[in-house]
Amino acid sequence: MLGNSLFYKHTFAFISVSLKGISQVILIENVVSGAIILLAISITSVPLGVIALLSSMIGTLIGRLGGADEAMLKQGLLGYNSVLTGLALFLFLTGSTHWIFSLVGAAIAAILTASFMHFMKNSGIPILTLPFIILTWFTLLVSYRFTAFHLSDSLVPQSLMQWELDITGEVDFTQGVFNGIGQVFFLDYTISGILLFIAVFWAEWRLGLAAFIGNAVALLTSLALGGEYSLIFLGLYGYNAILTNIAVSVVFNSKRHPFSFITGGIAACMTVPLAASINTWLLPYGLPALTMPFVLSTWVFLSARKILPRV
Q: Which residues contribute to the site for a second copy (CB under 8 A)?
A: 62-63, 65-69, 108, 111-112, 114-119, 122-123, 125, 138-139, 141-142, 144-149, 156-161, 163, 165, 167, 222, 224-228, 270, 273-274, 276-277, 279-281, 283-286, 299-301, 303-304, 306-311
Nearest approach in angstroms of CB 285 to a second copy is 6
Q: Which residue's CB is nearer to a second copy, number 189 or number 273? A: 273
Nearest to 110 by CA among 156, 52, 55: 55
Closest to a second copy by CB, 62 vs 128, is 62
Considering the complex, what minimum distance in angstroms separates the CB of residue 34 from a second copy?
Answer: 23
CB of 304 to a second copy, least distance (A): 4
Q: Quick one: 8 or 119, whose CB is closer to a second copy?
A: 119
- Smaller CB separation from a second copy, 149 or 197: 149
Q: How far is the CB of 205 from a second copy (least distance, A)?
A: 28
Strands 150-151 and 93-94: antiparallel
C-alpha closest to that of 210 among 176, 238, 246: 246
Contacts of 248 (CB under 8 A, 6+ apart): 260, 263, 264, 267, 268, 297, 298, 301, 302
Shortest separation between residue 227's beta carbon and a second copy, angstroms: 5
In the complex, least distance from residue 14 CB atom to a second copy, rounded to whole angstroms:
18
What is the DSSP-derived secondary structure letter of residue 246?
I
Closer residue to a second copy in complex, CB, 180/227 = 227
Which residue, 52 or 228, is less far from a second copy as judged by CB? Answer: 228
> Environment class of residue 86 by beta-carbon count within 10 Å: exposed (0-12), middle (13-18) or buried (19+)?
buried
For the bound state, the minimum distance from the C-beta of residue 274 to a second copy, rounded and expressed in Å, comes to: 7
CB 76 within 8 A of CB 53: no
Residue 61 neighbours by CB under 8 Å, 6+ apart? none
- Minimum distance from residue 297 beta carbon to a second copy (Å): 10
Give the HSE-up count for residue 174: Cα atoms under 13 Å, Cβ half-sphere.
Answer: 5
Q: Which of residues 48 and 275 has its CB atom nearest to a second copy in the complex? A: 275
* Distance in angstroms (rounded) separating the CA atoms of residues 294 and 148: 32
- Within 10 angstroms of residue 218's Cβ, the number of other Cβ atoms is 30
Q: How far is the CB of 298 from a second copy (least distance, A)?
A: 11
Of the candidates 116, 109, 32, 29, the residue with the CA atom closest to the CA atom of residue 75: 29
The residue (of 52 and 269) whose beta carbon lies closer to a second copy is: 269
d(CA 261, CA 97): 45
- How far is residue 185's CA from residue 38's CA, in Å, rounded to a whole number? 10
Q: Where are the beta strands (DSSP E) in 56-130?
A: 93-94
Output 186 or 228, the one with its CB closest to a second copy. 228
